[in-house]
Amino acid sequence: MEPIRIVSYNVRYFGHVTRGLASTRAGKRSIARTLASLRPLPDVVCLQEVETSSIRSNIGRPRARQDETQLESFMGFLAQNFHEAGQEMPYEALYFRAHNYKLGEISLYTTGLAILVNRFTLRIEEHNADQPYGITYYRVARWKDRKQSRICAHIKVRDLQGRGLHVFNTHLSLPTPFAREYWAIKDKMGWGFNQIQEARRLAAFIRERAGDEPFVVCGDFNSQPASPVFQFLHRDVGLVAPQVEFGQVDLSRPRAFPTAGFLRLRMHLDHLFSNDKIRWTDLAGTVPYGADGPFDGLSDHVPLIGRFEIAAPRVYGIGFDGSRKAG
């Protein structure tokens, strides 16, 4: 049985060439082409910063339908790549809406997450696309409608051997500048009080939905390695961090393997986690931001790509004395 391959990628609304101001057909086409070219094909693709439909996502591009969403448009380009290669489109997609910034009845821009699942290798059993779990920390309640909502997308899938797996995809807030401690420290990303509260809500949701079953967690955490957010999830909650295990993360040098860039600034903000029911086999295809690679220049982030195996469940037999014995 081949390991399961996962990709986690902040696609910046498929508008990197416009600095995120507007989605472009070229952006969607390029990312779709590059994802479709990966070998082996990913079994799960978790995307952050995906729109529904708004002025920003539609400006300057014709749509097949007036109600076509950004994800549907992207999936059309992805299907086209497989069709041109003489292959059947393997992916089905779920969209998880986070926020809608409106001026009256006009959507200026929207935010959300997406998860693509290879239907030839995994079967979706459950998801929370209709009601994603909110993790946003609101310091001032009356600003709730103005603050960008943060969510956690969740699916449960089953592989060809019948083993269950939970997948969580998320995108934490930036550290709030309205807290006094924000200005008291040099490092910001992952030190925000609001981010720590969101990490706590995330951990509680994972515990509630997955329990002791195998799970992986991925996304843009807007947090550096060794930050309080990272340490809470890795050390306090006990999540496995494969980038630490494979040497891509050095906690003493948190900027050594950047996953995102802004102007000349390089930061490690994206992470993969799991519980100990998962055995990571490799992170082949994951390269630092700015390095030569197939995704170079397509977003202000690079994807995290990893493969893992689900630990075999404990099998119990009946001993000669009638007791259950693990085998």
Q: What is the pLDDT of residues 310-321, one digit of tens each?
A: 986 555 444 444
Per-residue confidence (pLDDT) for residue 114, from 0 to 100: 97
Q: What pTM, to 2 d.p., does this model score?
A: 0.87
Per-residue confidence (pLDDT) for residue 53, from 0 to 100: 54
Mean pLDDT, range 126-137, rounded to an integer: 96
Per-residue confidence (pLDDT) for residue 180, from 0 to 100: 58
Mean pLDDT, range 133-141, rounded to an integer: 80
Task: Give the Cβ contact number of residue 301 at 10 Å.
Answer: 24
Mean pLDDT, range 227-242, rounded to an integer: 97
Per-residue confidence (pLDDT) for residue 103, from 0 to 100: 46
Over residues 206-217, the pLDDT tens digits come to: 999 999 999 999
Local confidence band at 105 (pLDDT 50, 70, 90 cut-offs): low
Over residues 37-64, the pLDDT tens digits come to: 999 999 999 999 998 754 444 554 554 5
Over residues 138-152, the pLDDT tens digits come to: 765 445 555 578 999
Cβ-defined contacts of 127-130 (< 8 Å, 24+): 127/94, 127/153, 127/154, 127/155, 127/156, 128/96, 128/153, 128/154, 128/155, 129/94, 129/95, 129/96, 129/153
